[in-house]
Structure 1
Amino acid sequence: MEGFIRLAAIESTMERAINGDKPALFLITGVGNSGRTSLANHMLYAYQRAATARLAGYRFVVHRVERDDMTHDAYQLLRSTLLSLRNKMHTSNIEIPPRLQRGFTTLSHRAPTNPMNEYDLQEIAEFAATAFAAHDAGFGIRYEGVSTKELLTQAAKVFENTRTVVVFTIDNYDHASTVQLTDADRQAFARRGHVIDLSALTPRQIAVLADGRWTGEPPSPFDLDGVQRAFSTRPYTIGQAMQHLAVLLDCRLSEYDSDEPWPTDGLLMHEMWMQLKMWQAEKWNGLGDPHG
């Protein structure tokens, strides 16, 4: 991912959160196959790595809300998050202090029609983080495919004073089930966290991917200038580019009928050949779907 997003800025945000008892909040937007989930997982890993560097033996647990579990009820999502952390405390042998246990019990028993105030949820989150820290541990949260803007604002409030990392991913295209963020929404989140937009790659970036993907005998079998021209006809996300590069490698190997090892002209992938195979892949295998 280095060179495609500002990893240094992300990791700096992690460090400040860990050292300052504040959350590291990230909002990742992009279309399908743009790398949202991969980046979100990397952020959780980066946070864990930074915390472990600060404290040897640090333990890290993650609560993940997958796309299929996402709803429009922000309160219930946050309620489930906190109760999931309670369960992870049990399985991690982290003692739950009496006051925190009472908070968890109230949260569990309250009917959905009688929700707890967001500041009560905030207190539970702070107590939970303190209990984790007392056992040299911490937690992170990933919300995949957020479907309501209220989750962004309420989660930011609930974890406002908690040492943790919370990553939200949002689909960046018009659909009834996706959040439509305004400039004001983005600016409001940016005041508390970090907004990352994953856009299509440039042909030059795809050539860098092609070169980096090859781990065999140098040089790369991809004609890198040809890659730039072959991928210049329309935008490609990182996922789409990686799919095409994998298919191109498979096709070249399946068509090769010689025993001569690389490097050899018979395995070189030139521009016209790549354009033909990419056209076939998009026509027959659906690799051109921008949401897929």
Structure 2
Amino acid sequence: MEETNKTTVNFFILLAFTDLQQFQVLLFLIILFIYVVCTIGNITIIILIKTDPRLNSPMYSFISVFAALEYLFVSVTVPNLLSNLIGGTQTIPFIGCFAQFYAVCALGGTECYLLAVMAFDRELAIHFPLRYSAIMRQALCIELVVLPCFACIIIALITTISTSRLGFCSLNKLNHFICDLGPLQNVSCFVPFHNKVIVIFTAVSEIVIPFIFTLTFNIHIVSTIINIKSKDGKKKAFSTCSSHLIVATLFYSTAIAVYTTPKGSSYEKYLALMYTVVTPLFNPFIYALRNKDVIAAFRKAKNSTLWKMNLS
């Protein structure tokens, strides 16, 4: 039965928010604003970290990589959504759909691991302040970024290939604004057992494992800060990891809400909108507004720009 019902699907139709037809223009303007602000915010953070000597540390290097990943993540999802909302471009080619699926899977998994790496970095800084510089050398920083990225690229490739081989029985309407695993499985004729195993492996390796590491490190960090007797020491320690705690909480709370939603739920795409569009908006502000060094670097860059403008 599985083989006889299979039909070649050349494209998919992303229904996105067609059920909110009267709010299409408003949604377009809001999401466009968020995308522009998110892009400017993340690029600004990257430039500041790369140009200001005071931000030349592993912590800020990880933040700049995370900002780059956030920019790439929204760039593979939001432009297509904007085109869908205002241009009525609901179709996406089969290859384009799975290219987007691959990018979302690889980038999302890498962000999960990077949050764990950033928690590990703060763990070392708080518990081994005197040995921190010797341990967190540039070579180790590069390895902590490159290895998870390479692993997620391979895992995402396996998941994408296995999902693309599903039969779709002429059903090509995805009740979503991106090509994600849930919507694609919803329109498939049949999901073989090996596909289910691959999906579980992907979820465990890209979400569960880094989440456990991130949670463990953060719990240990918070418990250590609580036990610090000096108020100034406690305040200083908390200021170095508070931004990461907020970002990790936002990231995982929205992502977990999406992937624990019952399959085929009408709320899935609205929850996905939170972690693909809204959450990336807050991250640059959290890292900038809660960090004195970043604020100082921004003021220095602004004053330098104004000074050059006055000279000209």
Using structure 2 for the length normalisation, give the TM-score: 0.25
Structure with greater strand share of residues: 1
Relative contact order higher in (CA < 8 Å, ≥ 6 apart):
2
Using structure 1 for the length normalisation, give the TM-score: 0.26
Please say which structure displays the higher CA radius of gyration.
Answer: 1
Structure with greater helix share of residues: 2
